Amino acid sequence: MHRLWNRIDFAFSSAWQNFWRNAAVSVASVLIVWVVLLALGSLLLVLHSLDQIVALEKTKASAISVYLADSTPLSSAMDFKLQLEQDPRVSNVTYVSKDQALARFRQLPALDPSVIDTLGTNPLPASLDVTVKDIRNLGAIDQAVRTSPLVDRSPATNYEPNVIDKIILLARVAGIAGLVLIIGLTGLSVFIIMLTIRTAIYLRRKEIEVMKLVGATDWFVRWPFIVEGLIVGVIGAVVAVLIVGFGYRPAVINLQSVLIFVPLAFDPSYLRVVLAAMLGFGLLLGSLGSYLGVRRFLKQ
């Protein structure tokens, strides 16, 4: 018990001294760990948001809104609706008036209703919301309705054949780019931690010489440097975790007000997973860097 305590006490006090003795290098390695973890946390959250958007778009994908020109009389709109309902590919058609469209628009999250009020008039078109039995027929319906004179021109429908594909592609590109960036930064941070440990070993070379001379074991000599790497990892991780932890919610709210039509949501349970992953990765970086440091530079 006493021996264990002595070992822990020696490792931590030496590590802490090392950390401050070459403060500039230590701060550099904390910064790089911080950057890596910030990139990792942001990437995980962005990919998660894109996933959520894809899932939502998929449920919406079996419907399109056919926008009607403002000049279309209600009776014509109803005829058109009936005509569409008779199409065997269509399962359901709902008429949405201009007023209903405006009311719906006001429901959008993070939208300032006064924006609409200042216009004075209602800019939103009435629409027929068409649900199809099979998503694959959506394109054909879109083509068919566009020819009708009743239909608005700008735009005719909200049909965007590859919006999901685009989001999936965006997620994939962001994922790969982020991964490459994080791998690169990980390598860099391990290297910088290794240099930090090497500097600490150099500054302690006299002590290490004496320790070996009087019979300290290899691990007794190594532990302070491993602990120093862990301290670097933990400090970098804690700062990054605080920033992501407190910054995620305001970031989502701000983005919601900019990307009005994108269904972004705050997900606290996923945030906890991300923060835990960041902390774990920080510890991994610190221990890997310092292990490589002592392995390469303490070989007698």
- Cα separation, 73 vs 68, in Å, equals 10
Size, binding site for other proteins by CB under 8 A: 20
The residue among 144 and 203 lying less far from other proteins, judged by its C-beta, is 203
The residue among 15 and 182 lying less far from other proteins, judged by its C-beta, is 15
Question: Containing H/E element for 128?
Answer: strand 127-132
Q: Quote the least distance from Cβ 287 to other proteins, whole Å.
A: 21
Q: What secondary structure letter does DSSP report for 63?
A: E
180 contacts: CB under 8 Å, gap ≥ 6: none
Q: Is 211 in the site for other proteins (CB under 8 A)?
A: yes
The residue among 2 and 153 lying less far from other proteins, judged by its C-beta, is 2
Cis omega (within 30 of 0) on the bond before 149? no
Q: Is 207 in the site for other proteins (CB under 8 A)?
A: yes
Copy the structure tokens of residue 25. Answer: 């290098």
Of 213, 209, 228, whose CA–CA distance to 294 is shortest?
A: 228
- Only segment of 118-126, 129-137, 205-213, 243-251 that touches other proteins (CB under 8 A): 205-213
The residue among 156 and 204 lying less far from other proteins, judged by its C-beta, is 204
Q: Which of 48, 89, 98, 212 binds other proteins (CB under 8 A)?
A: 212
- Please write down the HEC assignment for all residues of 74-105: HHHHHHHHHHHHCCCCEEEEEEECHHHHHHHH
Q: Quote the least distance from Cβ 292 to other proteins, whole Å.
A: 19
List alpha helices for 204-217, DSSP H: 205-213
Copy the structure tokens of residue 205. Answer: 């070379």
Contact present, 205 and 265 (Cβ < 8 Å): no
In the Cβ-directed half-sphere of 44, how many Cα atoms lie within 13 Å?
21
Q: Which of 210, 259, 273, 276 binds other proteins (CB under 8 A)?
A: 210
The residue among 14 and 189 lying less far from other proteins, judged by its C-beta, is 14
Q: Is 154 helix (H, G, I), strand (E, B) or coil?
A: coil
Q: Quote the least distance from Cβ 28 to other proteins, whole Å.
A: 25
The residue among 17 and 148 lying less far from other proteins, judged by its C-beta, is 17
Query: What binding mask, one character per residue, do residues 214-253 give for other proteins by CB under 8 A, x or -?
Result: xxxxx-xx--------------------------------
- Cα separation, 192 vs 89, in Å, equals 62
Q: Is 3 in the site for other proteins (CB under 8 A)?
A: yes
Contacting other proteins within 8-37 (CB under 8 A): 10
Q: Is 2 in the site for other proteins (CB under 8 A)?
A: yes
- Cα separation, 142 vs 130, in Å, equals 10
The residue among 142 and 228 lying less far from other proteins, judged by its C-beta, is 228
118, exposed or middle or buried, with CB in 10 Å at 0-12, 13-18, 19+? exposed
Q: Quote the least distance from Cβ 216 to other proteins, whole Å.
A: 4
The residue among 217 and 254 lying less far from other proteins, judged by its C-beta, is 217
Residue numbers at the binding site for other proteins (CB under 8 A): 2-3, 5-7, 10, 206-207, 209-218, 220-221
